[in-house]
Amino acid sequence: MSQALRNTLLSLRDLIVSAGPLAFLAVGLLVLAYWWLNPNPPKTVTLATGPAQSAYEEFGKRYQKALAADGIEVTLLPSEGSSHNLQLLREGKADVAFVQGGTAELLPDDPDELVSLGNLFVEPVWLFYRTETAQRMYNTPRLDGLRQLRGLHVNVGSQGSGVPTLMERLLEANKVERGAVKLSRLDQTPATVDFLAGKLDALVFASAPESLMVQMLLQTPGVQLLDFAQHEAYARRFPFLTPVTLPRGVVDLASNVPVRDVRLVASTTSLLAREGTHPALLTLFAQNAQKLHGGAGWFNRAREFPNARNSELPIAKEADRAMNEAVPMLQRYLPFWIANLIERMWLVLGILLAIMLPLSRIVPPLYQFRVRSRVFRWYGRLREIENDLEMGKSDPATLLRTLDSLEAQAEKVSVPLSYADELYALRNHIHLVRKKLLRASGGAGGSTDHSTPGEGMTENSMKGTGSAAGTGH
């Protein structure tokens, strides 16, 4: 190894050792901040959806595909419906879920444990009935109110869907006595099969129009959709309901389906999450909600959803930011996990920088001390040799041998070129002490007194330099 390379490596080592404690402190603080902030989300999240072929299931698949692009695996958890989803959130079995307003009573602890990511869409109450049933019971092909359900066999869905609770409240408001309507609680798919087979007179469920069941039943011959003529009155009586209208021909313009405007009542579905869900996951769901639910639909204009109107639970700050602010600039150009890491760590990095900049000023003095101490530590032994000579503890010949050993070791010292003057000063002082020993032993010193810089220095100046170097460093 060349001397130049050796000196370079030596200087690098000294610099690393000098700056090591500061670097260790910085890394430690960064690790602590990373652990505290937990900036990167878990790779999996559980989304409670709904029954098979429901709108919740369809939207769940869309969220699954959207979050997969950012490396997040969304596990879809089928459920009985809205009420069941709310229970899954409370039990911690789901991280995020679709929940329909008015289908379940909120518990006192829910505002502290759950947050809303915004209202996503409206879910009308779809009450389909058979034309032949209306003709048989009332000698008319159309029904115009819930009171006409007396004596009919109606499926209101499973308890977990929340629709049974909603229908009980609506029937009670219409003064329909318990037992006047034969209610069954089959899941959506088997209930639809029985309905089409003539085993049920009517079928009720709350769902977004994207539901495959809704799309199919709206276009099935012999099946009618109940017109809620009093939908404005329902909205006044029940704050969680909204009056909506299914426009004529919106399902199929060519076939004019439906043949007239149909008045409906609808509840609003929200995306709820547990309070402890990672903020980055909430951000991803909230941002993708803008893409998936921001378009125009049968019952809303473009950009009407998502919104935070009349929310029964606190709106997560991540959702509020997604609804009211543009996508952060970093996320436009960087992968989500990198942008999220920078956004969550930038404040910590700023604080660390403010702390480390003043502390970094101690690195150059430490480096200087470490390099110079490699030279100055020999001045202590050099001073001992002088003291032994002055006090007569050892004879000059013995001290000369000790000095030769010291010089041999000092010649092996390597320092950066910028500190070479310190090394040459040490060698010069060794030479001066040798001259003093030779004079004390009675020798002329001519044969060993090689011409060196500093020969003209006085012994007093040498002592002063050596003592200062030995004590000051």
Domains observed in the chain: 3-14+365-472 (no CATH), 99-325 (3.40.190.10)
Question: Which two three-digit tokens encode residue 409?
Answer: 């070791």
273 with 316: CB under 8 angstroms? yes
Q: Is 120 helix (H, G, I), strand (E, B) or coil?
A: strand
Q: Is 203 helix (H, G, I), strand (E, B) or coil?
A: strand
Q: Residue 464 burial by CB count (10 A; 0-12/13-18/19+): exposed, middle or buried?
A: exposed
Q: What is the pLDDT of residues 289-341, one digit of tens each?
A: 999 999 988 888 888 899 998 788 999 999 999 999 888 777 777 887 777 66
Query: Which residues are bridge partners to 44 per DSSP?
Result: 73
Q: Is 455 helix (H, G, I), strand (E, B) or coil?
A: coil
Q: Is 267 helix (H, G, I), strand (E, B) or coil?
A: strand
CA distances from 172 to 120, 168, 181, 228, 266 (A): 29, 6, 11, 16, 18
CA distances from 190 to 51, 80, 122, 182, 187 (A): 11, 13, 24, 17, 6
Q: Is 347 helix (H, G, I), strand (E, B) or coil?
A: helix
Q: Token pair 């089409």 is at which residue?
A: 196
pLDDT for the residue 19: 65
- Global pTM? 0.63
Q: What is the pLDDT of residues 23-81, one digit of tens each?
A: 777 777 666 665 665 557 788 999 999 888 788 999 999 999 999 998 899 999 999 88
Radius of gyration of the chain (CA): 43
The 10 Å Cβ neighbour count of residue 77 is 19
DSSP string computed for 56-93: HHHHHHHHHHHHHTTT-EEEEE--SSHHHHHHHHHHTS
Question: Which two three-digit tokens encode residue 464?
Answer: 């002063």
| Over residues 449-470, mean pLDDT | 39
pLDDT for the residue 462: 39
Q: What percent of the chain has pLDDT over 70?
A: 83
Closest CA to 41 of 293, 335, 324: 335
Q: What is the pLDDT of residues 98-156, one digit of tens each?
A: 998 877 778 889 999 999 999 999 889 999 999 999 999 999 889 989 999 999 999 99
d(CA 33, CA 401) in angstroms, rounded, equals 59
203 with 195: CB under 8 angstroms? yes
Closest CA to 60 of 39, 45, 41: 45
CA distances from 217 to 148, 190, 259 (A): 21, 14, 14
Q: Please, where are the H alpha helices in 360-419? A: 363-391, 396-410
Q: What is the pLDDT of residues 366-390, one digit of tens each?
A: 777 777 777 778 888 888 888 888 8
Asked if the model's pLDDT at residue 6 lies above 80, the reply is no
Q: Mark 163-182 as b/e (b = at least 16 C-beta within 10 Å).
A: bbbbbeebbeeeebeeeebe
Q: Tell me the CB-side half-sphere exposure of residue 322, using CA atoms within 13 A.
A: 31
| Over residues 422-439, mean pLDDT | 87
Q: What percent of the chain has pLDDT over 90?
A: 40
Q: What is the pLDDT of residues 458-467, one digit of tens each?
A: 344 334 333 3
The 10 Å Cβ neighbour count of residue 128 is 22
Query: Which residues are bridge partners to 246 per DSSP?
Result: 262
